[in-house]
Structure 1
Amino acid sequence: MTTTKAPATIEVAITAEPLEDRPSGEGRDGRSGAEVRFSGRVRDESGRVQALFLEHYPGMTENALEKIAGHARERWPLNAIEIIHRVGEIRIGEEIVRVVVWAGHRHAAFEACAFLMDILKSQVPLWKKELSDDGWHWVEARERDAEAAARWMGGPSERAR
């Protein structure tokens, strides 16, 4: 008798509200030995940023998040994926994005979480402005984000599935 593992559940959301620190329930089903959580926060490396403002295209942004989560689900043996991204005005220290991956083993969970963040930063339609003393300014895409995403592209991964 052959048993088929259920595909990973995917939950994506875009919200203007602060992200709640809710307890995870996915690991309690006995299938997930690993939970990897990435929480990205607004920071000020330059000493002049007061806040960020993120804009998105409703529907298109969620579809892009679901697509990259689907790619992760195909690439690694995962049990569940959660991606929540904020939009609107977000202050220094506030959480801007949360990615959580549940898997049977840590390697798949770590790899998938890194993949999701690298691809999200370069391929999900979000537009960012920074507020500083002289007003709001659009933020250009960073080359290092494109380079991080590029390492995952093309052919099968050399990384363990």
Structure 2
Amino acid sequence: MKKISLPKIGIRPVIDGRRMGVRESLEEQTMNMAKATAALLTEKLRHACGAAVECVISDTCIAGMAEAAACEEKFSSQNVGLTITVTPCWCYGSETIDMDPTRPKAIWALTALNVPALFTWQRLWQLTARKASRHSPFTVMTFRMPMTHRFLPMLKKNCCALPAPV
């Protein structure tokens, strides 16, 4: 009997690529955000056949085209069917976003606690919408996870330096 390879969810931790303390201060938080997203999706989502959804996380945080290309290579070899870009900070959208026109996308930016992430989210949404509308019939799925009290305990446990809600 032939085993079917179910599509996986690719998680792309995107970061501000500026060095000299900027990127370095955000790498752990960004990777923890990706791991928390993978844990949440693996726990809560199932395929139609009942099998648990598997997540694939990029090996490094993505700050530029070289890291984005390495992530794309990994996702292509692992049968990733959709991607979620996670970021707690501002970043260069055109260099870091998943540009595969055949893959649905989602973006999670911590916009409620970090205003620069709102601009990142908006820019990435514009780029993916423009790219998808020109090159593919697929709808681009974009969302922001609401930063309610329900999600804050999970984020505080898995991400560093999150302020308390106002």
Query: Do they fold alike, i.e. is TM over 0.5?
Result: no
Q: Which has the higher contact order (CA 8 A, sep 6+)?
A: 1
More strand by share: 1
Q: Please give the TM-score of this superposition, normalised by the length of structure 2.
A: 0.32
- Looking at CA atoms only, which structure, 1 or 2, has the larger radius of gyration? 1
Per the normalisation by structure 1, the TM-score is: 0.33
